[in-house]
Amino acid sequence: MEAYFIAIGIIALIYVILSLGLTLQYGLTGLINFGHVGFFAIGAYTSALLALKGVPLVLSFAAAAALAGLAAWPIGLVSLRLRDDYFAIVTLGFSEVVRIVITSERWLTNGVQGVPGIPRLYDSLGGSVAQLAVLVTVLAVTLVGVWIIRRIAGSPFGRLIEAIRDNEEAVQALGKDPARFKIQVLVVGAALAGIAGAFYAHYITYIVPDQFIPLVTFYVWMAIIMGGVGRVSGAIVGTAILMLFLEGSRFLRDIVPGVSEVDMASVRIGAVGLLLVLFIMYRPQGLMGDYTKR
Amino acid sequence: MTHTRRQFIGTIGAATALIGAPSILRAQAQGTFRIGALCPVTGSGSPFGSGMQKMIIAAAEAVNAAGGAAGRKIEIVSEDTQTSPQAAVLAAKKLIDVNKVQAVLGTWSSGVSLAVVPLTNDANIILMNTSGAPALSVPPANAKGLSYRFQATNDRFGRAFAEICEKEGFKRPATMAFNNASGVGNTEGFRKAWEAKGHKVVESVVYEPNQPTYRSELQKVLAANPDVIVTGSYLADTTIIMREWYQSGQPVKWVMPGWAASPDLVKAVGPDVVEGIISVDSVSNENAPSYKAYDEAYRKATGQPGQSNVYAAMTWDMVHAVALAIEAANGTDMAAINAKIREVSNPAGQQVYTYAEAKEALKKGKINFEGASSVLDFDQYGDVTPDFGVFFIEGGQLNRRYVVKI
């Protein structure tokens, strides 16, 4: 039982790191990033491929963050010229480009066959101790991420990006250049996604392009919307709610009688959808409240 | 912010309570052996997944009706992989840690199997899959020899294609593959085997899924003037490719996997178009009594004929193999059970086809269980080594001409 909770905890924390990045980008700055999974994928593949070449994991994680952040740079440059909704389309396209490049560049990524046997963190500790160590590490990284985002939000930089979100023209009128700040925000958010990707790759131990579909991006969106947009606590709570719906529904079969094992799978997915709809109907501002609408 | 924090802690508390509340922690009841069914009931594997899961349950019922294994009833706990590695990992964790299953059966896509196998290895329990990826045969995936594959690997399919092309006297083969692990695995396996015979492949095209037309890919292949095109394709894309090729009028032969060149393909495009296509499939053990038992169970559970889901036949065999190994090991020690899997399935021994019959025969001596999906003999990698049937489509019928052994 503990091992199952640890597994849920690790996956949930990986999603928390992802949603922290999106909180910075959308919640604070108002950038509609529909391509979050692209940076997640870059991080996962970077760290996995380097680790398989024998690079120490500390370096491969750093490289994952750096490369994912770097990939956000050109997207940031493009964003200077685009209105919000167009930026959303560009980022969605970007994440699909990443996935197709990974699929096609077989010499590097082994294409659709995927990369198996990615080394796990703390494998030498063995079994449940290693799992616990992974959980603690992801938790520590998440806390550092939370701390960084809070520091950013409370700093003059944070007030400026919130001003960009609320009224970009006013910021420009004050003599600030929103583009520069947008790029910085994108790079930091992408680097966080890259770290999340590295944790994911070394936890699942097998990555394949199919895992990096836009659905992952929208899970993260669901999480921050349910938690409350623009709040760090919202990112955490939203992810907790999402995991609760997704994993808690596995135990439906113990409560709901008269449904066959096979039908249960579909009932479960339906229940998750229903819960998500109901939640948003009755709590549209998210559990922690939507900061952007205040 | 204290308000927020309190709410947050409250949420976590509620989450824990909600997950923990139902009586899910059923202890392993005395006298049962718990098996996890981890099939792709939703997601891209869904056409097969529900049938696979139903056959695991049906086979467990057959085993229990014959008195169980080593005096224990088989109990099935089901989870859905959603055909996604991440969902499958959490589902497998739940099966292993919460439900305490002692074997996980029925993972379908290679991505899912490769993600789940480290977990079953850690827990020292058996994983049985129907995936094609070669990586599953060797360490790290199969480092402990606890993983069994009931489907022919893509590599083997490719080698079978190469044997057939040589036998049919083709000189200039080209390949077309659907861009996923299985599709590319087939054609790459073919290329390796074909080049090992000292020949060359004149053109290779990999196409993206879900296109309305494959005309440009087809033109590229046909421009190389091949005498045969070997595919790693599925039914939907093959249907489009066949129509467009027929319109092009260029004569060429085709060698395809059986799941693409199936009776459904003949129905979809008409017998004229597909005349002479060579369809290759691993030989289900269709004439064996075990296949009859499976077919009957499958019809009863789904209302469809058993041949409509080759993977369901494999999951049917999985439960039989595990149950017989438990019976032979006469206990629930996983190492002992694992040691018996090959012993009850591979040759030398009395050929048996149903669980009840096998259980009787086991009292007298060694048995060789012949499954519904294949004769079920495992090599040193835990892979089945099926023979391949070579079917020619003639007048809308698939006629088996010969069998290729690898």
The residue ranges of every structural domain in chain B are: 32-151+287-369, 154-283+387-404
> What is the DSSP code string of B110-141?
HHHHHHHHHHHHHTT-EEEE----GGGGSTTT
Give the distance from residue A181's alpha carbon to the nearest chain B alpha carbon, in angstroms: 27
Report the relative pairing of strands B397-404 and B388-394 from DSSP bridges: antiparallel
A62 membership: H or E segment, kind and range: helix A57-79
Q: What is chain A's percent helix, strand, coil content, to nearest 5?
A: 80, 0, 20
pLDDT greater than 50 at residue A214: yes
Give the distance from residue B151's alpha carbon to the nearest chain A alpha carbon, in angstroms: 17
What tokens appear for A162 in the block?
């919130």
- Closest residue in A to B37 (Cα–Cα): A261
- CB within 8 Å: B181 and A117: no
Evaluate whether A209 touches A52 at the Cβ level (below 8 Å).
Answer: no
* Residue A59 one-letter amino acid: L
Higher pLDDT, B114 or B180: B114
Q: Whose structure tokens read 């054609």? A: B187
Give the distance from residue A116's alpha carbon to the nearest chain B alpha carbon, in angstroms: 7
Q: Whose structure tokens read 């979809």? A: B268
Please compute the mean of the pLDDT values over residues B248-270 and round it to a whole number.
89
Q: What is the dihedral of CA B67, B69, B73, B79, to 10 degrees?
A: -130
Residue B236, CA distances (Å) to B82, B211, B212, B221, B369 in order = 21, 10, 10, 19, 36
- CB within 8 Å: B76 and A116: no
Q: Cα–Cα distance between B373 and A221 in angstroms, integer?
A: 44
* Residue B271 one-letter amino acid: P
- Closest residue in A to B79 (Cα–Cα): A265
Q: Cα–Cα distance between B7 and B10 in angstroms, integer?
A: 5
Q: Which of A11, A127, A251 sits opposite B19 (nearest CB)?
A: A251
- CB within 8 Å: B122 and A112: no
Q: Which of B22, B86, B180 sits opposite A11 (nearest CB)?
A: B86
pLDDT interval class at B403 (50, 70, 90):
confident
Evaluate whether A15 touches A220 at the Cβ level (below 8 Å).
Answer: yes
Higher pLDDT, B163 or B211: B163
Cis-peptide, bond into residue B140, ω within 30° of zero = yes
Q: Cα–Cα distance between B43 and B83 in angstroms, integer?
A: 5
Q: Which of A81-85, A267-271, B15-19, B311-315 has the weakest average pLDDT?
A: B15-19
- CB within 8 Å: B135 and A251: no
Choosing among A23, A135, A206, which should be mutated to test the B contact, i.e. which has the most B CBs within 10 A? A206
pLDDT greater than 90 at residue A261: no
Q: What is the dihedral of CA A34, A40, A41, A45, to 10 degrees?
A: 160
pLDDT digits (tens, 9 = 90+) for A139-168: 999 999 999 999 999 999 999 999 999 988
ipTM of the complex: 0.83
Number of Cβ pairs < 8 A linking chain A and chain B: 139
- CB within 8 Å: B94 and A250: yes
Contacts of A120 in chain B (CB under 8 A): 118
pLDDT greater than 90 at residue A268: no
pLDDT, chain A, mean: 90
pLDDT interval class at A132 (50, 70, 90):
very high
Q: Whose structure tokens read 């980022």? A: A91
Give helix A178-204 / helix A36-52 axis angle, nearest 10°.
50
pLDDT greater than 70 at residue A79: yes
pLDDT greater than 50 at residue B25: no
Q: Which of B12, B78, B86 sits opposite A204 (nearest CB)?
A: B86
- Closest residue in A to B179 (Cα–Cα): A112
Q: Cα–Cα distance between B45 and B38 in angstroms, integer?
A: 12
Report the relative pairing of strands B103-107 and B126-129 from DSSP bridges: parallel
Q: Which of A126-130, A132-136, A192-196 has the weakest average pLDDT?
A: A126-130
pLDDT interval class at A12 (50, 70, 90):
very high
B74 membership: H or E segment, kind and range: strand B73-80
Query: Which pTM does this prediction carry?
Result: 0.82
Q: Which of A2, A8, A255 sits opposite B90 (nearest CB)?
A: A8
Q: Which of B22-26, B46-50, B320-324, B375-379 has the weakest average pLDDT?
A: B22-26
Contacts of A233 in chain B (CB under 8 A): 1, 4-5, 8
Residue B87, CA distances (Å) to A149, A211, A253, B53, B79 in order = 29, 10, 17, 17, 10
Class of domain B154-283+387-404: alpha beta
Please compute the mean of the pLDDT values over residues B390-404 and round it to a whole number.
90
Which residues 10-69 on chain A approach chain B with CB closer than 8 angstroms? 11
pLDDT greater than 50 at residue B338: yes
pLDDT digits (tens, 9 = 90+) for B89-114: 999 999 999 999 999 999 998 889 99
Residue A110, CA distances (Å) to B101, B144, B161, B182 in order = 33, 25, 23, 13
CATH architecture of the domain with residue range B32-151+287-369: 3-Layer(aba) Sandwich (3.40)
pLDDT interval class at B319 (50, 70, 90):
very high
pLDDT, chain B, mean: 88
